[in-house]
A and B are shown apart, each in its own frame.
Chain A
Amino acid sequence: MKQTLRIIEGCIAGKRRYQRKFYDLYAVPMYRICYRYLKNEFDTEDALSTGFTKVFENLHRHTFKSEKHLYNWLKKVMINESLMLLRSQIRFQSVEMSTDIGGFQSADALQQMDAEEVYALIQALPKGYRTIFNLYVIDGYSHAEIANELDITESTSRSQLTKARKLLQSQLKTLQVR
């Protein structure tokens, strides 16, 4: 943490060398987070560059007790930037379920998958479902926070999450059948 704090101090002082170190430390995970939401390289780069610029501008306003604290703050900034780009694109609509998911043991099938497969599965969800699923399941937002971030009602957030889960289960079943 001491080294990270020194880097942060250098960033606050506006030293380019330290900003570059900070960027090298967090660029990959933040890119992953943005890409998980945006699923588009160009949009992800936009969100990432804007996000890091805001991070460097606002670092001096925060005191970080641990690296996890810093990481969570960075993550939140990047998610916000991604949502900024997504807001105009998301159309919350229902997707027809093609298969009956009754009685399917999705949890078991899921645990047989590795991380990249799970990642690909989530990425295959429609934009609206994916966003709600990412926010609620992976990043730990509440429905109230999601409603606030996306300017929707909490019930819309809940229903979208339910539909996302069902779609995910149907995809898992398809994979299981193969």
Chain B
Amino acid sequence: MNPLSDKYIREQIASLDHISPPTNWNAENTWHRVAGPKIWYKRKVYKAASLAVILLFLLTFFWPYTNEPTGKHTGPIYLTEIEIIAPPSTPTRNKLSTPTNKEVVSILTDTVQMQEVNTFLGTSKEEAASAHELAHTAPVKEKHDTAVKLIIESDSTSHSQLAQKRASDSTSSLREKKEEIPRMSSPVISISLHADHSKKTPQKVQRSIIKLRNDYRYTTSKKVYSLQINK
């Protein structure tokens, strides 16, 4: 064969290019295969979108935990313990060996119940009574001679006197006070106090209550409240 034959063959084959092939080929089937990858791309997009949604969900869920090391607290604050630091001159049986020689009086209070009480603040008489009852159910480590019940009221004029009166009463008289609660129109916050000694005078306790209330109002971001008892 020579180059002339090559040229002839090329021309002959080229002339056949636009004639339908002598096979059972169905162009429509091949077209569907060509168009198929487009659908595949759509699926790819759907998969990517689903993945993004899952990632977003996971990020939303774990985001609060990632903020903890920075010291920012995003969730609710739970009050678990209140400490009252009394001056050294306060008559007491249990002295701590701290450098300042201050006595620490523990106040145990149930945070959840505190919050429940707050939700009932000043709505109705029944609710106020319920709130007070809830305050009573707070788990207090009681001793026979030292348990003192404090009721802190938001009204500092009329209710502080009531609080003083109640603080000086014994535990048995609390049920009577419970009946008095509905008469109060202002919100009530109850805290169960457990003191280690019973020598505190009602006046001292009252001052402590006032201080406690102030600190409670202004230091809600802390978990542990340190309150100074004034003599």
Cα of A44 to Cα of B10 in the assembled complex, Å: 21
- A53 to B6 CA separation, bound complex (whole angstroms): 32
Q: Is B172 an interface residue (CB 8 A)?
A: no
| Residues of chain B contacted by A27 (CB below 8 angstroms) | 27, 30-31
Do residues B31 and A165 form an inter-chain contact, with CB atoms below 8 A?
no
Which of A29, A44, A169 lies in contact with B25, CB distance below 8 A? A44
Contact with B along A21-34 (1 / 0, CB 8 A): 00110011101110
Q: Check: B21 CB closer than 8 A to any chain A CB.
A: yes
Task: State in angstroms the CA–CA spacing of A166 and B38 once bound together.
Answer: 47
B37 on the A face (CB < 8 A)? yes
Complex CA distance for A36 and B21, rounded to whole angstroms: 10
Say whether, besides A137-B9, A138-B10, A115 and B15 are in contact (CB < 8 Å): yes
Q: Which residues of B in the span 1-36 have a Cβ within 8 Å of any Cβ on A?
A: 1-2, 4-6, 8-10, 12-25, 27, 29-31, 33-36
Contact with B along A16-60 (1 / 0, CB 8 A): 100110011001110111011000010011001100110010000
The verdict on A86 contacting chain B, using a C-beta distance below 8 Å, is no
A111 within 8 A of B: yes
Interface presence of A132 (CB below 8 A): no
A35 to B13, CA, bound (A): 12
Partner of B16, one of A19, A53, A115: A115
Q: A16-B35, A45-B33, A168-B1 are known contacts. Are A110 and B17 too (CB-CB below 8 A)?
A: no
B13 interface neighbour in A44, A56, A122, Cβ under 8 Å: A122
Q: Would you call A118 and B12 a contact (CB within 8 A)?
A: yes
Binary per-residue interface labels of chain A (94-134) against chain B in the complex, 1 for a CB within 8 Å, 0 otherwise: 00000000000011001101111011001000000000000
Complex alpha-carbon distance, A131 and B119, angstroms: 88
- Ordered by A's residue number, 11 sampled pairs between the chains whose C-beta atoms are within 8 Å are A16-B35, A31-B25, A33-B17, A36-B13, A49-B30, A49-B34, A110-B5, A115-B16, A116-B22, A122-B13, A137-B6
